[in-house]
Amino acid sequence: MNQSDVLAGVLTPLWLSLKVAFWATLLSSVLGVALGLYLARSRLWLRNVLDTICTLPMVLPPTVLGYYLLVAFGSQSIMGRWLRDTLGINLIFSLNGAIVAAAVVSFPLVFKPARAAFESIDPQLEQAGRVLGVSEAGILLRVTLPLAVRGIMAGIMLGFVRALGEFGATLMIAGSIPGKTQTLSIAIYEAVQAGRDDMANMLALVISTVCIVLLLLATRLTPKRQPAPGGTA
Amino acid sequence: MSTAVADQTDLVNWCDLDIRKRLHSPKRTFEFDVQLQTSHPRIVLTGPSGIGKTMVLRALAGLIRPDAGHIRIQGHTLYDSRGRVDLPARQRRMGFMFQNYALLPHLTALGNVGFGLRRGAWGFLSRAQKTEALRWLDRFQLAHAAHQYPHTLSGGQQQRLALARLAILKPRVLLLDEPFAALDPDLRRAMRCEVAALLETLNIPLLMVSHDEEDRVALQAQRVGLAQVDGRTVRVD
Considering only CB atoms, A128 lies closest to which of B102, B118, B123, namely B102
ipTM of the complex: 0.89
Q: Could you tell me the pTM of the whole model?
A: 0.85
Does the pLDDT of residue A25 top 90, yes or no? yes
When pLDDT is averaged across residues B108-135 and rounded to a whole number, the result is 91
When pLDDT is averaged across residues B164-169 and rounded to a whole number, the result is 95
From chain A residues 124-183, the ones with a CB under 8 A of any chain B CB are: 124-125, 127-135, 138, 141-143, 146-147
pLDDT digits 0-9 by tens, A168-225: 999 999 988 888 889 999 999 999 999 998 889 999 999 899 889 888 887 776 655 5
Looking at chain B, which residue has its C-alpha nearest residue A132?
B116
- Across the A:B interface, residue pairs with CB atoms under 8 Å apart total 89
Asked if A70 and A168 touch (Cβ cutoff 8 Å), the reply is no
For the CA atoms of A8, A10, A13, A18, the dihedral, rounded to the nearest 10 degrees, stands at -110
Give the bridge partners for B15, in sequence order: B38, B73
Asked if B159 and B176 touch (Cβ cutoff 8 Å), the reply is no
Q: List, in sequence order, the alpha helices (H) in chain A.
A: 3-41, 47-59, 62-73, 78-82, 95-119, 123-131, 136-139, 145-165, 168-174, 184-193, 197-221
Asked if B104 and A143 touch (Cβ cutoff 8 Å), the reply is yes
Q: Name, in order, each residue with C-beta under 8 angstroms of B102's C-beta and a sequence gap of 6 or more.
A: A122, A124, A125, A127, A128, A229, A230, B162
B141 vs B149: CA distance, rounded Å: 15
Q: Is B178 left (phi over 0), alpha (psi -120 to 50) or beta?
A: left
pLDDT digits 0-9 by tens, B170-197: 999 999 999 998 889 999 999 999 999 9
pLDDT digits 0-9 by tens, B83-100: 899 999 999 999 999 999
The enclosing H or E element of B73 equals: strand B68-73
Going by pLDDT thresholds of 50, 70 and 90, the confidence category of residue A107 is: very high
Q: Which of A132, A141, A147, A225 to mutate to test the interface with B (most CBs of B within 10 A)?
A: A132
Going by pLDDT thresholds of 50, 70 and 90, the confidence category of residue B208 is: very high
* pLDDT above 90 as % of chain B: 68
Does the pLDDT of residue B2 top 70, yes or no? no
Asked if A105 and A54 touch (Cβ cutoff 8 Å), the reply is no
The enclosing H or E element of B79 equals: strand B76-80
Angle at B148 between CA B151 and CA A152, to 5 degrees: 65
Q: Name, in order, each residue with C-beta under 8 angstroms of A150's C-beta and a sequence gap of 6 or more.
A: A117, A221, A222, A223, A224
Q: Name, in order, each residue with C-beta under 8 angstroms of B34's C-beta and a sequence gap of 6 or more.
A: B17, B18, B19, B20, B52, B56, B226, B233, B234, B235
Listed residue (A61, A71, A60, A73) closest to A99, CA to CA: A73
When pLDDT is averaged across residues B126-145 and rounded to a whole number, the result is 94
**Amino acid at position A233, single letter:** A
pLDDT digits 0-9 by tens, A75-103: 788 888 888 888 888 888 999 999 999 99
Q: What is the pLDDT of residue A87?
A: 84
Report in angstroms the alpha-carbon separations of A96 from A26, A92, A170: 13, 8, 10
Q: What is the pLDDT of residue A223?
A: 55
A79 vs A72: CA distance, rounded Å: 6
B111 backbone dihedrals φ, ψ, rounded to 5°: -65, -35
Handedness of CA B74, B76, B79, B83 (dihedral sign): positive
Does the pLDDT of residue A232 top 50, yes or no? no
Q: What is the pLDDT of residue B236?
A: 84
When pLDDT is averaged across residues A67-73 and rounded to a whole number, the result is 90
Angle at B224 between CA B219 and CA B228, to 5 degrees: 145
Q: Nearest C-alpha of chain B: how many angstroms from A106?
A: 29
**Amino acid at position A10, single letter:** V
Contact A133 B165 (CB under 8 A): no
